[in-house]
Amino acid sequence: MRSVLFAILVGLVGAALLHIVIVLALPQFTGKDAYSRVLGLYEMDSFFALGNEPGTTGLANEDPFLRVAVCGFSVSSGPARFLAKGSVPFWSLSIYDADSNEIFSMNDHTAVNGNLDLVMATPIQLVDLRKTPPESLAQSIMVEMPDEEGYAVLRALAPTDSFQEPARNFLAESSCEPFRR
């Protein structure tokens, strides 16, 4: 009887260890995390506007008033530049790394002239850009990217049906491209 209790006790200790191991290891192998889903769209270096129904990747416009576009990007070969302009009542952008940690977020009130113009670059690329600033980046916000890969989420607000068209156009005309001098 005592040995059965001892076995259960050992089992409970093992359960606690297993609990900790699963929680810590889960982000590495779910395959359902937001970055894997963004990569599953097979659309690198351009904003992909999501539909209202979850597609094969399970990403969709969840909020009925917010239209969402995502873009997977990499700064390994050069900085990435994000551009968007248009007349929507509100837009916002978040940049996440491959582990879905927020690196940077902004909205139209924190942008220059209300237009999105953002450059993500590695620390070395940033030094290079600041030493000889290209003319076209005079108005750009430059942000350091700790990792090489990540994804961007751009949201445009359509409070009523008449704003659906501008919001769609705003996302369709936004760009997420490697920056070349």
Partner 1 sequence: MFRIPLLVALALCVAFGVGIVSTVSALKATVGFGAIALGPWVAFPDAQTANTDPYAKAHRARAGKLLYGGAEGLQFTASIDSDGQKLSSGCSYDITGVTPPARFWTLYATNANDQPMKTDPALPGAINAWTVLRQPDSSFIIHVSPVAEPDNWLAVRRIGAFKLVLTLLDTPTAGSSGLIDLAMPKIVKTGCPDA
Residues binding partner 1 (CB under 8 A): 3-4, 6-8, 10-19, 22-24, 26-27, 30, 32-34, 36-37, 58-60, 62-66, 68, 70, 89-90, 92-96, 99-102, 104-107, 109-110, 153, 155, 157, 159-160
Yes or no: say if 41 and 151 are a contact pair by the CB < 8 Å rule. no
Yes or no: say if 69 and 174 are a contact pair by the CB < 8 Å rule. yes
Q: Which is nearer to partner 1, 45 or 99 (by Cβ)?
A: 99
Q: Which is nearer to partner 1, 32 or 181 (by Cβ)?
A: 32
CB of 31 to partner 1, least distance (A): 9
CB of 124 to partner 1, least distance (A): 21
CB of 69 to partner 1, least distance (A): 10
Q: Which is nearer to partner 1, 61 or 125 (by Cβ)?
A: 61
| Cα–Cα distance, 149 to 96 (Å, whole number) | 9
CA distances from 159 to 36, 68, 106, 163 (A): 30, 14, 20, 7
| Cα–Cα distance, 79 to 143 (Å, whole number) | 10
CB of 70 to partner 1, least distance (A): 7
CB of 90 to partner 1, least distance (A): 6
Give the residue carrying structure tokens 């270096």. Answer: 45
Q: Which is nearer to partner 1, 8 or 172 (by Cβ)?
A: 8
Give the residue carrying structure tokens 């007349």. Answer: 87
Task: Decide: residue 29, CB within 10 A, 0-12 exposed, 13-18 middle, 19+ buried.
Answer: exposed
Q: Which is nearer to partner 1, 106 or 128 (by Cβ)?
A: 106
